[in-house]
Amino acid sequence: MTKKKKVVKRAKRVKARPKKVVKKAKAFKAKVRKSAAKKAKGKKAKSALLGLEKVGEVTHYFPHVDAAAVLLLKDGLKIGDQIYIKGHTSDFKEKVASMQIDHVMIQEGKKGQEIGLKVKSRVRIGDSVYRV
C-alpha cells in the first residue's frame, strides 16, 4: 500500500500598500525636523542670553585620566579661563587648570588645535565647550 501525500496550498500573503506607509514616514520625518529646528533655535537663544561664547567641541574622552580632547573652533583658550561644558548628559562649569598638546603642557590653545583638557566630570563626544 502506498500512501498518498497531501498537498497543502498556502494562502498568499497580501502585501501592504507602500503609498500609505511612505506618506506616514514622510510626515513623521517632517515632524521630527520641525521639532529639531525648534530645539536648535532654543539652544542658540539660550546660549546667547547667558552670554556664552562657543570655543570648542569635545572629540574624545579618556576616563582613566579624566581628560577630554577638545577641538578649538573660535579664538583660543587659556589656563585660568572659566568654561561651561554642555551636552546631552553633561552640564557643568569649571576653571581650566591643565591643558596639553601631545603630552606637553601649554598655557594657551589656538583656533584649529586639538587640546587635551583636564575635566572634573565625564563628557561625551559632541559636547559643546563655552567660555563664560
- DSSP H/E element including 67: strand 67-72
Matching residue, cell 513623521:
28
37 and 78 co-located in one domain = no
63 and 77 co-located in one domain = yes
Please count the structural domains in the chain. Answer: 2
Average pLDDT in the chain: 80
User: Residue 55 corresponds to which amino acid?
Assistant: V
82 and 98 co-located in one domain = yes
Per the structure, the complete domain to which residue 45 belongs is given by 18-49
Q: Under DSSP, is residue 51 helix (H, G, I), strand (E, B) or coil?
A: coil
70 and 45 co-located in one domain = no
Cell of 87: 551636552
Which spans in the chain are helix H? 18-49
Residue 57 has pLDDT above 60, yes or no: yes
When pLDDT is cut at 50, 70 and 90, the band that residue 52 belongs to is confident
The pLDDT value recorded for residue 49 is: 46
83 and 70 co-located in one domain = yes
**Is 13 part of a structural domain of the chain?**
no
